[in-house]
Amino acid sequence: MIKKLWNWLTSTPGVSSMSVQERNAFFCIRSSKWKKTRDTFLENNESCCAACGSTENLAVHHIVPVHINGDMELDENNLIVLCCNKTLNCHFLFGHLLNWTKSNPDVVKDAKIWREKLT
């Protein structure tokens, strides 16, 4: 069934002309290097939320979403650490503007402003 679906989608105009990276981003398929990139980013950077400083339930968020530019999936300059806590979910609030289908191009600036207000 999955193979049939894949064959149909890859033969559909618009989808069939996508590069492998564009197709992977379209179908939300992560690079096999994503987990290592994520873990390395957390190790090499301040392992706390850029917005509130929490060290729990951390997510590595893409500033430019993978579905917009799949080539930036593993680019550390395109990543920011945000928390996914129950009381203040900075990933949802600042990264997605309270809507999982959206992205915030100003997430770095907004997180910095919020962090400065909290300290």
Distance CA 13, CA 53 (A): 46
Give 32's contacts (C-beta < 8 A, 6+ positions apart): none
- Which tokens is 4 given? 């049939």
**pLDDT attached to residue 26:** 53
Write out the E strands in the chain: 58-62, 79-83
Q: Where are the domains of the chain?
A: 1-30, 31-118
Residue 33 has what pLDDT? 93
pTM: 0.75
Over its length of 119 residues, how does the chain's per-residue pLDDT go in tens digits?
A: 666 666 666 666 655 555 554 555 455 578 889 999 999 999 988 789 999 999 999 999 999 999 899 899 999 999 999 999 999 999 999 999 999 999 999 999 999 999 999 88
